[in-house]
Amino acid sequence: MIEALIQKLRTGPYVSLETTPGHAPSIENIIQKIERLGLHKKVDAFSTTDNPLAKLKYSALFGALRLQERFNKPVIATMSMRDRNKLALQSDLLGANDFDVRTILALTGDPAKISDQPNTKGCFEADSTLLLDIIKCFNAGIDYAGKEFSLKPKKIYPFAVSNAYAKNPKTLQKKMRKKIEHGAVGIITQPVFDPQNIIRLLELFEEAKGEFGGERAKAQLILGFFPITKLKTAQFLASHVPGINVPRFWIDELYKAHKDGEKKEFDVGFELSKELFGKIKELHPKIHIMTANRFELADAILD
């Protein structure tokens, strides 16, 4: 199942859908919504987020297990460096491996200071490349200290993330190169909104990947897609989220629609998003859909 997903990522169109487990001891509501909409039949994989914005949520690893078991689809489980030292990272990987959760998104994580839990301290022993290196060791049958496992873990496939935009594109390329070098099989970008930005990202990635041979040369870029249906969302992303470039015309169109009411605003945003999704499919049909659990929106876009 997981090996087939990696092969599909490398050779053809690919769509994954992000899920964000909630502040509850269950993700049954997410499972039921996906099932009701039939989204498991429309995507190749799911992902689970790991306490995004340092807010307490249901475990990404257990969430991945539940989704994987219910839908027989691979789930990319996020693991944040913010919350784990080397010991915890490796222990979680071993447990996940036993349950065949073997696609892992290595993330440095949002700062602990913005957490909703009082006096939370981060555990940043290193950035996400440390987790990529740990996974490389596991795939060789040893732990990070070089000690051989009594039973070799099943192969783990690591993913990483990248900003979608930078004033100096070479800084993006440098980070892509680093993550490919450390073994990422796929790099998921922040949401993209501009076709010219997409073309530039693809050029940067291919240049970075071209420096490597073997397995590293098979790394793939996965374009993040986030449908915007509200002016305030577009303005927030444009003003406050580093690594994302929302074109001015998106904000202008939503501003005009906003004056005509909520429905008009939604319709304009949806059409802009739908058009963008089609353009991404033309340019590079390897897409990661992020909707903040607005699965009805993902369903409408995919239809």
User: pLDDT for 66-112, tens place per residue?
Assistant: 999 999 999 999 999 999 999 999 999 999 999 999 999 999 999 99
Alpha-carbon gap, residue 189 to 197, rounded angstroms: 12
Domains in the chain, CATH or no CATH each? 2-227+286-302 (3.20.20.220)
Average pLDDT over residues 180-184: 96
Name the percent of the chain lying above pLDDT 70: 100
- Total residue length of the chain: 303
C-alpha to C-alpha distance for 38 and 36, rounded to whole angstroms: 6
- Let me know: does 141 contact 220? Beta carbons within 8 Å: no
Q: Rounded to an integer, what distance in angstroms lies between the CA atom of residue 79 and that of residue 91?
A: 12
Question: What's the DSSP call for residue 185?
Answer: S
What DSSP string describes 198-250? HHHHHHHHHHHHTT--GGGGG-EEEEEE-----HHHHHHHHHH-TT----HHH
Average pLDDT of the residues in 147-162: 98
Q: How far apart are CA 9 and CA 271, in angstroms?
A: 27
CA separation for the pair 205, 221 (Å, rounded): 7
Beta strands 14-19; 45-48: pairing state: parallel
Note the pLDDT of residue 303.
87
Residue 186: predicted pLDDT:
97
What pLDDT was estimated at residue 241? 86
Task: Reply yes or no on whether the pLDDT at 41 is more than 90.
Answer: yes
CA atoms of 269 and 182, how far apart (whole Å)? 38
- Cα torsion at 260, 265, 270, 271 (round to 10°)? 30
End-to-end Cα spacing for the chain? 25
What digits encode the pLDDT tens for the residues 186-240?
Answer: 999 999 999 999 999 999 999 999 989 999 999 999 999 999 999 999 999 998 8
Read off the pLDDT of each residue in 291-295 and give the average, rounded to a whole number: 96
